[in-house]
Amino acid sequence: MSKLVAAALQMRSGTEPEANADAFEALVRDAAGQGAQYVQSPEMTGVLVRSREDLASRIAGARGALVTDRAQSLARELSIYVHLGSTAVALDNGRVANRAFLFGPQGQLITTYDKLHMFDVDLDNGESWRESATYAPGERAVVADLPFGRLGFAICYDLRFPQLFRALARAEAQVLTAPAAFTRQTGEAHWHVLVRSRAIENGAFMVSAAQGGLHEDGRETYGHSLIVDPWGRILAEVNGDAPGIAIAELELDQVAAARAKIPNLKNARDFSVARVSGSASHERKAS
């Protein structure tokens, strides 16, 4: 399969898993009805809640598995690939994983990916985030071999670590992903630039579903879900922060063409970094 119809679902997930699963299902069905063969949802599709205690209560037991079960059944029923961009998963050690799931057209679980990089930041508007206080970082990058090509996984803050995307591209990923819940402040400044840059520098498609709008827990996310081609062109976008769908046909042959035109993956070289001093005390006096 050299062509793939991909959809990025833009959501405004809240604090109740049941409502989020219903909103997710409606968008998946809409995207499949438009011909999507691969559907991706944003980071934290299942629940978006700031309080650690509230999060724990909402991901315990059957409520925590609600959106993953829904994704699996939709993939099977609609015979499509459903990429649950991420949801919070309780771990045995009391921590939480920010985990992506990919289900295939028979409902089979193909792979999972845990977000590698934790969003520990202090922003100018007073926003402060410490994901590492709740979430355990992942330890492996993932590339899935699929009938339409190779799919590389990332989540949100991972987008700021180009070495991850370069590793995925070197593992022959043709479609790179970064489902996200970017804050409005960082999204307005960097979202489009980062998504397009990861596509350009790796000669790959980027599919990035996003959360958007004012959420029940008080946070505000940027939206603007994107699908970008290997030349950096935006193929589809949900303009603004309202729920919606970005959908586009990906011609996978464009990946090889882009990498042939600018073979930076092949031309990359290992190098050392020399740190030198420019202070007068280290200068050699002329004789």
Catalytic hit among 43, 216, 261, 266: 43
Rounded-to-integer distance, Cα 17 and Cα 64, Å: 7
What's the token pair of residue 192?
Answer: 């489009």
What's the token pair of residue 9?
Answer: 């679902």
Catalytic hit among 156, 172, 188, 285: 156
Distances (CA, A) of 259 to 63, 161, 252: 44, 21, 12
Give the angle 27-39-92 at the CA atoms, nearest 5°. Answer: 95
Q: Is 3 assigned a catalytic role?
A: no
Question: What SS3 class is residue 49?
Answer: coil
Catalytic hit among 115, 139, 172, 237: 115
Residue 202: how many other CB atoms lie within 10 Å: 26
Q: Is the CB of residue 265 less than 8 Å from the CB of residue 256?
A: no
Q: Is 115 assigned a catalytic role?
A: yes
Residue 225: how many other CB atoms lie within 10 Å: 32
- Which residue numbers are catalytic? 43, 115, 156
